[in-house]
Structure 1
Amino acid sequence: MSLPLTGLPRRTWLQGLAASGLALATSACDRVVDKLNANRKVTGVIAKAEGLTYRSQRSLQGRMALAQEFTPADISKDFRANGSIRPRDPAYQAHLKAGFADYRLVIDGLVERPQALSLADLRAAPARTQITRHDCVEGWSSIGQWTGARLSPLLDRAGVKPEARYLVFHCFDSLDESAGELGRYYESIDLIDAHHPQTILAYAMNGRPLPVAHGAPVRLRVERQLGYKHAKYLARIEAVADFSHISGGKGGFWEDRGYEWYAGI
């Protein structure tokens, strides 16, 4: 079966794949997908779409083009929580029990000045509030307000080294506990998206502290990409030259299982 890509908006194409059952036989955000890895033809099509989207967003839209923002009246009454909603990992449970009093977000790797930032440090950093639409690869969308520290000034403070090309976001939650460390969630973005003005480390949602189900104490918001890139329960941000040595080597939990690394919308 052919998959017509030309002329289709990216999100419409993704929904079509989900509906056809060729790409996402089960939930993208809720459970591990084995059928996608087995279907090399579909994986190849997705890889081609990824390259097309990456090039078009970089060349046609511009590196700093903003995702659409909305008004308070547009905020969804029921913003779906997906993936992990209450991690059972011991380190996270300890932080949760202590009210995140001892939480520190580490920024290290290829940086001149490694950081260990408390929630107070993050709240004191240059911030941004934005009302944006969260698009899941499953086909649903919700609109929410996010407040958080802008990532770019934090990276400037850490002093990212010239050889760094990506940021890897290591998380507290495991989606596949049977896989040990390979089952722990992680994601990555390039430094272009890292310095985008709408890329923030969100600690508040809809004017209140970030709920546990949505990634407390801190989650990534990278507004020009699909929902699985918005890593929750952040523990560490590592600047790297490449991510071939990390977990499955594809740059993210779902990417290691066949998804696109660049999930731009």
Structure 2
Amino acid sequence: MNRRRWLSGMAVAALGAALTACDKLTTSPGVQKTLARAEGLTRRAQRLVVDRKALAQEFAEHEISPDFRANGSTSPGDADYRALVAGGFADWRLVIDGLVERPLSLSLTQLRAEPARTQITRHDCVEGWSAIGKWSGARLGPLLDRAGLKEGARYLVFHCADTLDPNAPEGLGRYYESIDLIDAYHPQSILAYDMNGAPLGVPHGAPLRLRVERQLGYKHAKYVMRIEAVADLTGIGGGKGGFWEDRGYEWYAGI
């Protein structure tokens, strides 16, 4: 019995040491640079092999998941967002600015009048689960054309209403995401305001969320308030292009 306990203790200690070593390895600057280079290679390889406008698989109505899991923020406590919820989003505006010729400020009613698309697609979460939902929303490409991107614009940053990490340093706790213009102009990239035939609910990102169907779930920013066109991602949040990217996730999450 004592020998068995000793062996079990040694196994646990060895596993702990391995995990500690693994953590130190993955957080080292050299390894981080190598992973960043690998991510860039993955992005270039996928876009070389796959047509930039190739559509993600779409499904039939009967394949919609009966229970589409809400993940991340599901009921933001930010005071400004709660006020918008209480007012039925009547005072909500989507701002499109940054490197654009004609900044926009659109109400939900105005956004619903923009060129739209409905699609039934599968949401793949980095945690390992998937669900199929029906999304309707304004096409992102025509909105960008209306705003008129300036020559230096290379990325879109989606600023959101939810503080996902209230303990983070100032400016680093609110959710944000970014994509490049190739994904922005993809036919299935929409700003969704309806889910499964009804207005988007708060757990799923009301009143507006990004759907960028060839990317993993954390790229599909919820509670979108502002879209900023930028030349690069440095100086925004932690400088890595997104809330989770600042915490070690890959920026390009193509699937």
TM range (shorter): 0.7 to 0.9
Whether 2:189 is the aligned partner of 1:199: answer: yes
Q: C-alpha distance in 1, partners of 2:32/2:72? A: 22
- What is the CA-CA distance between 1:44 and the residue it aligns to? 5.6
Q: Which amino acid aligns with 1:109?
A: G
1:50 positional shift: 2.0
After superposition, the Cα gap between the structure-2 partners of 1:162 and 1:36, relative to the gap in structure 1 and judged at 3 Å, is farther
State whether structure 2 residue 63 is matched by structure 1 residue 74: yes
2:240 is aligned with 1:235: no
Aligned residues: 235
Greater Rg, structure 1 or structure 2? 2
Is 1:98 aligned to 2:92, yes or no? Answer: no
Corresponding residue SS for 2:128 = coil
1:178 Cα offset (Å): 1.5
Cα separation, 2, equivalents of 1:64 and 1:72: 23
* 8 A contact 1:36–1:258 mirrored in 2: no
Q: In the TM superposition, what whole-angstrom CA distance separates every residue of 1:145-172 from its partner, at most 9, and x where no partner exists?
A: 0000000000000000010000000000
**Normalising by the residue count of structure 2, what TM-score does the alignment of the two structures yield?**
0.87
TM-score of the pair, normalised by structure 1: 0.84
Q: Deviations over 1:17-59 (max 9, x none)?
A: xxxx97xx9xxxxxxxx98963668756643542232112211
Aligned to 2:171, the other structure's residue is in SS state: helix
Q: 1:192 to 1:177 in 2, by over 3 A?
A: same
User: Deviations for 1:55-114, whole angstroms, at most 9, x for unmatched residues?
Assistant: 122111021111010111111011000000000011101100000001100000000000
CA distance in 1, matches of 2:26, 2:244: 11
CA offsets, 1:171-203, max 9 Å, x none? 000111122321100000001110110000000
> Structure 1: how far apart are the matches of 2:34 and 2:196?
37
Structure 1: 5+ residue stretches without partners = 1-20, 26-33
1:168–1:187: 8 Å Cα contact kept in structure 2?
Answer: yes
Once residues 213 and 31 of structure 2 are traced to their aligned partners in structure 1, the CA distance between those partners, rounded to angstroms, is 26
Equivalent in the alignment of 2:107? 118
Partner of 2:7: none
User: What is the rounded CA distance, in whole Å, between the counterparts of 2:24 and 2:138 in structure 1?
Assistant: 38
| Counterparts in 2 of 1:44 and 1:135: CA distance versus 1, 3 Å | farther
* 3-state SS, counterpart of residue 182 of structure 1: coil
- Over the aligned positions, Cα root-mean-square deviation in angstroms equals 2.0
